[in-house]
Structure 1
Amino acid sequence: MPDWNSPAELAVDAAAFLKFIHAMAGLYFWEWVTTLDYEWAFITRQKRFHYPAVFYFLNRYSLLFTMIGLLIAEDSTSEINCQALYTFNQITGQAASGLASINLSIRTIALWQNDKRVVIPIVIIILGHWSLILQGVTVTATWQDGVGCVVGGVNNTILAATFIYSMCFDLVILSVSMYKLVVSARTGRSQLMSLLFQDGLMYFFIAFLSNMLAVVFILLNLNAILSVIFNIPAAIFSTIVACRAVRRLNNFATKGPEIFSSTGHSFRAAPTAGNVVAPTKSDLHHGVHVQMQTFTVADDHVSDTDVHELERKGRGVPDVEAGDGSPSVEYKVPYGASAL
């Protein structure tokens, strides 16, 4: 068993920590650059801005500033205030983990349609999470000539409690979401339900494993460097999967409503829905009456391929009408179906 606090071991761990931080920074910078089109869609107003996007952007950019701060701390050649810089890095890094959980919570709240029985407990859990995140400085760092910023000590108790709380929080959110999805699946799972289920599982397992690895090294308390070495990967992986889940859900919603019936069958309606006309009844030759709901869509948003596809599947009957002078296409779907 090596002496984990010997000068030689600390020097080796510091070198490994330096290379590890650069690798993690490269990973996150690559993720950030390759997904800037999402931000551009908001800037150019291709996407409408809603309040959940605030937590999404706070999550992304708090971690971005954390990685920049860590690179400054590790690569500085002239003396800097290491304690102030590490305090900033700690707050923004822990905030990124907390915001990742909030992004998952918002999806769960939306899934339950703002049910107070779900919203109130989740808000209480979030407040408890942030009370740990904002506990104060748990890492101390000092400047050493010829070395740079050196981590001097870590408050393992608060740090471990924060990560364990995050793991339990994510488990509660996943359980509540899965319960809702299982109940909804009894009437046929839609594409949206499947997306939420898959993303929720992916987020939970990646975030849980990365947080668990950080907790193990915190509790082992080998030395000050190894106690915090896996904190950054936990924040990075949680942020990446949470932001990807938000983007996937938003991109799914912009493709148009999904129509699904009580029989479990589902299909996507036209990309852009226009006016929803009141339900009508159509008479069939054998005297059977079927209630229909009509979606009117401007024909410049509907391609011939969409029309022929609906006709081929037998799920819609396209009609052409002249309203205000501009042609439009109507798709009639069963009135008993639900549109998300």
Structure 2
Amino acid sequence: MVATTTEYLSVIKLQHIVCGVYIWEWVTSLGYELDFYTGRRPWRWTLWVYLLCRYCVLGAVINLLVVLNAPGQLACLTWAKFQFLFTFTGVSLASLLIALRSIAIWGKHPLSFVLAGTSILAQLAVLVRSIIVATAVWEVEAQDCVLPESARATLPVLATTFAVDLLLLLLMLSGLLRKRDARRFGIWRFLWAQGLLWLALAVAVELPTVVILALNFNGALGPQVGLDPES
């Protein structure tokens, strides 16, 4: 679907808003990170995964703001490669955090290692493929870099991410339901205390992004959705 200049400008304004929201969230949650630097919280190796995820997404936001506010034409291909790298590396690391928690819930059962490990490796393979095929061109009317065939690069990795996160969520759910505390305190109360309901909501939000890309019902939104770290 061909997009108008007005639609492109509307998407750009929306991107500024969501980038601002993420930066606000990043700054307000900085205290948790500082507790580890100052020794108030014990340092664990999984924190490296969390920090890499956090800073990859921040890098993607900054990279996006650079192209949105560029005074002139940029090297869009280079920009696209970095945007894919930052955005989807952050997404993959977030999935890795879910995988690590799933393995811990299952008490490091070999089957949980196999399922989680295979899922993450598959996601990584699709990520590398998307970075390789990613391309972008300068849109004169919108004064922005856009992906002419966004679905070819973004849809596989987003669909894979949704499938992987859903699988890991079910793996985590089945592991939690095996615990005695789930029967003692009630399933829903227990899942709420474990934060699983919030995680389920986060996974569910991934579905509209996949649908938008698959249907390509908006020519301005399609080339950009999936590249926003917030999407």
TM-score range, shorter chain: 0.7 to 0.9
Deviations 1:72-108 (A, max 9, x none): 0011113321221121011111112111111111111
Could you say which residue in structure 1 is the equivalent of 2:103? Answer: 109
User: Residues 152 and 114 (structure 1 numbering): CA distance in 2 closer, same or farther, change over 3 Å?
Assistant: closer
Q: CA deviation at 1:33?
A: 0.4
- Equivalent pairs: percent with the same residue? 22
Instruction: Map 1:12-31 onto structure 2 (within 5 A).
Output: 12-31=6-25
Could you say which residue in structure 1 is the equivalent of 2:207? Answer: 212
Higher relative helix content: 2
Q: Amino acid of the residue matched to residue 138 of structure 2?
A: W
Residues in 2 aligned to 1:195 and 1:62: alpha-carbon distance in whole angstroms: 29
Q: CA deviation at 1:198?
A: 4.7
Could you say which residue in structure 2 is the equivalent of 1:47? Answer: 41
The structure 2 residue matched to 1:64, chosen from 58, 78, 82, is 58
Q: CA deviation at 1:145?
A: 5.9
Residues in 1 aligned to 2:135 and 2:160: alpha-carbon distance in whole angstroms: 22
Report the aligned-residue RMSD: 2.4
Instruction: Give the secondary-structure state (helix, strand or coil) at the position aligned to 2:195.
Output: helix
Residues in 2 aligned to 1:138 and 1:18: alpha-carbon distance in whole angstroms: 24
Instruction: Report if the CA contact (8 A) 1:139-1:151 is conserved.
Output: no
Off by >4 Å, runs of 4+ in structure 1: 144-147, 195-198
Could you say which residue in structure 2 is the equivalent of 1:120? Answer: 114
1:165 to 2:189 alignment: no
User: Residues 12 and 147 (structure 1 numbering): CA distance in 2 closer, same or farther, change over 3 Å?
Assistant: closer
Q: CA deviation at 1:61?
A: 0.7
The structure 2 residue matched to 1:150, chosen from 145, 149, 154, is 145
Q: Amino acid of the residue matched to residue 164 of structure 1?
A: A
The structure 2 residue matched to 1:87, chosen from 81, 91, 110, is 81
Residues in 1 aligned to 2:26 and 2:170: alpha-carbon distance in whole angstroms: 29
Q: Amino acid of the residue matched to residue 190 of structure 2?
A: S
Q: CA deviation at 1:42?
A: 1.2
Deviations 1:27-83 (A, max 9, x none): 100110001111111111111211111111111110101010001001111332122
1:188 to 2:178 alignment: no
Q: CA deviation at 1:228?
A: 3.6
Q: Amino acid of the residue matched to residue 170 of structure 1?
A: D
The structure 2 residue matched to 1:77, chosen from 53, 71, 76, is 71
Instruction: Report if the CA contact (8 A) 2:36-2:42 is conserved.
Output: yes
Higher relative strand content: 1
Residues in 1 aligned to 2:97 and 2:164: alpha-carbon distance in whole angstroms: 12
- Please, which runs of 5 or more residues in structure 1 have no aligned partner? 238-340
User: Residues 145 and 179 (structure 1 numbering): CA distance in 2 closer, same or farther, change over 3 Å?
Assistant: closer
Residues in 1 aligned to 2:36 and 2:49: alpha-carbon distance in whole angstroms: 14
Q: CA deviation at 1:149?
A: 2.8
TM-score computed with the length of structure 1 as normaliser: 0.61
Which protein shows a greater Rg? Answer: 1
Q: Amino acid of the residue matched to residue 122 of structure 1?
A: A
Q: CA deviation at 1:24?
A: 0.7
Q: Amino acid of the residue matched to residue 199 of structure 1?
A: G
